[in-house]
Structure 1
């Protein structure tokens, strides 16, 4: 097969013809043996095809989100045997990729090779650390993604509901496997910090309320399509209730009791990843994995301190601009407590988010030559997770699955949701932040599906944070409080560099990290506490935002300085986003090449202008 240049739908058709169930070891070996051996270009494309199919069929939840067919009746197999098998298969793919003759590849496939090799190598390096032994945190795990996956499944016909029922019936196995991994982690001293687990039993019990009709696990059955006959609807609901009462209730209740009785009491009291077995090397790996840089934790800590100092100066300037009489601490307390900055109803909060999103959409053509076709919506974070969830997040859409992108906003605890943060947050999560970048990547017909679904944190979140600075160009931040809110969000990500490395590398306490955050931000204590606990269970992840933003800003400044009057912001953004998400090291190489091409064009145009004969 030549370099794949098909639409995502065509690719799905190709892979669906290979398998409509799981890729077992026999399937993998057969596909691996069938890889082309003569033509290096065809072999690379075939490796990408196999890697893509392997991801979709090894992790059925991802397949659901991406709209890949044949996997909606399954969950990932997290038995020891299956996990060992996946590791071995990944090593085989890495070996095959490493042995490719890169020099024989056509230029347009060099990037494909770089990404495939770097991804596989990073994944194999991670096998040395027992990440799998802490499969649940208060931020992630089956209690989070199971309801989301079920609610993302197609449900237009009876056959769709049969797949939901099949998935529900297999869910107890996933719960049991997850609990077994937690038990093993407990025995090996590998757990999330105990302090972060306090809300976990409540999250799990929220999935099985007294009234099954209120369970997030059964929400698909609340309102069914009219195309399904009433008698069939009744039958499907009854079967769902039977599975719920006989299988799901006991499984989830056992897990909640296990967490309360054994897991939380036995969990690690130390907060730092570096306190775990081989923790310093583990944290260094997480830093590299999330930032796609070679920066050390100490270097990142210093970058964070410098950014905090810089942004603090900008914030002090805004305080003076408002005419407020008082210091930084008094001003942030004023922002946290004055009723004028807060909504009194969840509905009003959501309405204002939607209004901001609509205002932004009309300004985007001035900054981007290419905009995505996929729509997006604004919804509240589900009630079962809102209490310990962050301020907002984005869930990608899928044309194949018939699902729009969603900007989820947290409407819990309204006194912790200030109006002055809403514009920056909308820019980050929706347009031109996550929705624009991810939807554009999904719509790139000339790159492999494997690349279209890539979500390198430093790029994706770095772009989201960089997008916040575009708010000025979009007509936002017109009052000093919203401008201060934008700086608060920039400060938030700078503080992350300091506190994440501080806690996991330099011995900071949780209380010290909370205090540092509060001293340098206007965010409410509830938000700050949620954030700090997030950094504790996702070591290194929060570093990606600011480092990604700084790299994108550096690339833009270099382009502006080099091209001067020939710099076109629309062309820059299109080039930056045109290959999908990329690791920062590869992004820099790509944008350097783009800049060289722009310089050549500029020189050619200038030469033509000089040589053009005068006219009268």
Structure 2
């Protein structure tokens, strides 16, 4: 590794990405309104330069973009400042171009404007991470740099072990470069942690307790046992010298950077309190209003969202009560009966290695069955190319129950549906169908493959309410396709999952706007939904560090169903479910405020 290469890695994101990424014009930010296509394509190139991990994920590190595969996003104070400046400049260029555009270029530009507007306002708070411009990590907005579920100590090993392919010498060389960049990323985050502590931006004490344990666990691993080492050492074609080089970088650069970050996090812990909500942060109330905009892409207030959650929960639990009674489970609250069902040994996989493999096999069967049903729901089909995997044990404690995303644009790499198996009791059998339909098909992986049919900039625009709203709508669609016809307890799993999302509206707004404590949020959730306390504690802690994100699910699903109801009412006999679903997925990820425009166009074309 030469000094020049290290210098490039350290400084690449600090320079103008328009100068660094092939295909991006240095005059991009001055593009005229008549050059809409050039402007949009150039912005896509800039975003890939800012977030090279996303380029790797999407399989876009070939040819002129190959240098991106050796880089990681700059997580330093200076790097974030450069991204903020770039977002503001692009927003101005997009707004300037819009009046002269029409057709698909106009819609694409409007979508890019909304994404950039949210990001620019987020950057203005001067702390945390913003959303929407990074398709791999951009679904989450958070005021804290490092927590139990975000930070380079989690993100980079994820990229290196799940995204970065090491098929040839160039790939392996890029891998080594990124391991060195890992240390730089940790150092950059530590600088931001120091800055934020001085501003009074410190995570709650219970979050820092988890975070310290997770970072310490990463630091304490033997180098030979670390996934980032095994990923290169286990490649038969890799020269032993490369594995030794990675080991040396881990020992000499990564672990010292982790130790430095751990020290700073301990300083945060010493200054922390137990407030769960962001209301306690500088400009906290304003920050949460922004977070709700970012998470839902609507103008709904915290009070409105809180009430929606309570109202919808009552509706769903009335249905659950009927199903429970019909299956011999009467007496007690819906939450209490669901909690009892979740403890039923017949619904649990053994909490062993064999039990985990049995669970994964069951889930793969669910995915295959639902893939076969897709011609009933769509005219335009995609492959639904995916693998089902366990979330890495070393990060399970801070991870959600499941997560997924599509594979590479070129179709060479599959999407992945990850399941948290730290305890198989997290996933009673009756709940697994709905989780699988949400994450895999027709949820995230399925919907994500449609974005590959769009202009690149649209593939890069991540809107939480659209993607999570679609995944929740996918659960409903699976029910409509008969997935639960022979599985009445699976219906309960579906309804409980939907109720779960209603509870999220209540507790997220409760903590961040109404100043509920963590314990109040946990108790309310457990009592009202019957979820296990272990599961709920992890969820509540997630909402603490990703304010507003969990509100996007139900709010997005409501918006999609409202659009469907409108299409049915206006089209009458001409309405077709498959055509409507095509319109939503082929229209691409959009803010909820733009979804109506997409459906208006669909209705007009049918008429």
Common fold by TM > 0.5: yes
- 1:10 is matched with none
Could you tell me which of 235, 256, 259 is aligned with 2:241? 235
The CA distance in 2 between the partners of 1:465 and 1:311, in whole Å, is 14
Shift of 1:24: 5.3
Does 1:264 find its partner at 2:264? no
Three-state SS of the structure 2 residue aligned to 1:298 is helix
Question: CA 1:87 to 1:407, structure 2 compared with 1: closer, same or farther past 3 Å?
Answer: same
- 2:553 is matched with 545
Q: Which moved more, 1:588-597 or 1:527-536?
A: 588-597
Question: CA 1:25 to 1:249, structure 2 compared with 1: closer, same or farther past 3 Å?
Answer: closer
Could you tell me which of 514, 517, 520 is aligned with 1:509? 517
The CA distance in 1 between the partners of 2:575 and 2:433, in whole Å, is 27
Shift of 1:35: 4.3
Contact 1:22-1:71 within 8 A present in 2 as well: no
Contact 1:130-1:190 within 8 A present in 2 as well: no
Q: 5+ unaligned residues in a row in structure 2: which ranges?
A: 1-8, 62-66, 129-142
Question: CA 1:210 to 1:510, structure 2 compared with 1: closer, same or farther past 3 Å?
Answer: closer
- 2:5 is matched with none
Counterparts of 1:61-100 in structure 2, within 5 Å, are: 61-69=53-61, 70-100=67-97
Contact 1:206-1:215 within 8 A present in 2 as well: no
Question: CA 1:453 to 1:341, structure 2 compared with 1: closer, same or farther past 3 Å?
Answer: same
- 1:335 is matched with 341
Counterparts of 1:456-475 in structure 2, within 5 Å, are: 456-475=463-482
Counterparts of 1:69-218 in structure 2, within 5 Å, are: 69=61, 70-100=67-97, 102=99, 104-132=100-128, 134-151=144-161, 152-218=163-229
The CA distance in 2 between the partners of 1:414 and 1:118, in whole Å, is 40
The CA distance in 2 between the partners of 1:340 and 1:324, in whole Å, is 15
Counterparts of 1:8-19 in structure 2, within 5 Å, are: none
The CA distance in 1 between the partners of 2:336 and 2:145, in whole Å, is 42
Contact 2:336-2:527 within 8 A present in 1 as well: no
* Pairwise CA RMSD: 2.2
- 1:395 is matched with 405
Counterparts of 1:412-451 in structure 2, within 5 Å, are: 412-442=422-452, 444=453, 447-451=454-458
Contact 2:112-2:461 within 8 A present in 1 as well: no
Three-state SS of the structure 2 residue aligned to 1:302 is helix
Superposed CA deviations along residues 203-226 of structure 1, whole A, max 9, x for unmatched, are 22333454323202213124214x
Q: Which moved more, 1:71-80 or 1:163-172?
A: 71-80
The CA distance in 1 between the partners of 2:57 and 2:422, in whole Å, is 26
Superposed CA deviations along residues 117-138 of structure 1, whole A, max 9, x for unmatched, are 2222222212221333721111
Superposed CA deviations along residues 345-396 of structure 1, whole A, max 9, x for unmatched, are 1111111111111111111111111121351010001011112211100033
Contact 2:219-2:258 within 8 A present in 1 as well: yes
Three-state SS of the structure 2 residue aligned to 1:420 is helix
Could you tell me which of 46, 49, 60 is aligned with 2:38? 46
- 1:581 is matched with 589
Shift of 1:29: 7.3
The CA distance in 2 between the partners of 1:143 and 1:548, in whole Å, is 31
- 2:4 is matched with none
The CA distance in 1 between the partners of 2:298 and 2:318, in whole Å, is 28
- 1:528 is matched with 536
TM-score where L is the length of structure 1: 0.88
Superposed CA deviations along residues 450-479 of structure 1, whole A, max 9, x for unmatched, are 102322100000000011112223332233
Could you tell me which of 281, 286, 289 is aligned with 1:281? 286
Three-state SS of the structure 2 residue aligned to 1:393 is strand
Superposed CA deviations along residues 275-304 of structure 1, whole A, max 9, x for unmatched, are 111111110011011111111111111111
The CA distance in 2 between the partners of 1:311 and 1:397, in whole Å, is 34
Does 1:487 find its partner at 2:480? no
Question: CA 1:411 to 1:81, structure 2 compared with 1: closer, same or farther past 3 Å?
Answer: closer
Contact 2:28-2:39 within 8 A present in 1 as well: yes
Contact 2:77-2:191 within 8 A present in 1 as well: no
Three-state SS of the structure 2 residue aligned to 1:471 is helix
Question: CA 1:24 to 1:331, structure 2 compared with 1: closer, same or farther past 3 Å?
Answer: closer
Task: Flag the structure with larger Rg.
Answer: 1
Aligned positions, number: 569
Contact 1:312-1:520 within 8 A present in 2 as well: no
Contact 2:149-2:399 within 8 A present in 1 as well: yes
The CA distance in 1 between the partners of 2:437 and 2:324, in whole Å, is 23
The CA distance in 1 between the partners of 2:400 and 2:602, in whole Å, is 37
Question: CA 1:402 to 1:106, structure 2 compared with 1: closer, same or farther past 3 Å?
Answer: same
Contact 1:66-1:401 within 8 A present in 2 as well: no
The CA distance in 2 between the partners of 1:38 and 1:542, in whole Å, is 37
Contact 1:371-1:436 within 8 A present in 2 as well: no
TM-score where L is the length of structure 2: 0.89
Q: 5+ unaligned residues in a row in structure 1: which ranges?
A: 1-18, 601-616
Contact 1:349-1:411 within 8 A present in 2 as well: no
Shift of 1:114: 0.8
Three-state SS of the structure 2 residue aligned to 1:92 is helix
Question: CA 1:249 to 1:219, structure 2 compared with 1: closer, same or farther past 3 Å?
Answer: same
- 1:56 is matched with 48
Counterparts of 1:346-425 in structure 2, within 5 Å, are: 346-373=356-383, 375-400=385-410, 402-425=412-435
The CA distance in 2 between the partners of 1:236 and 1:359, in whole Å, is 43
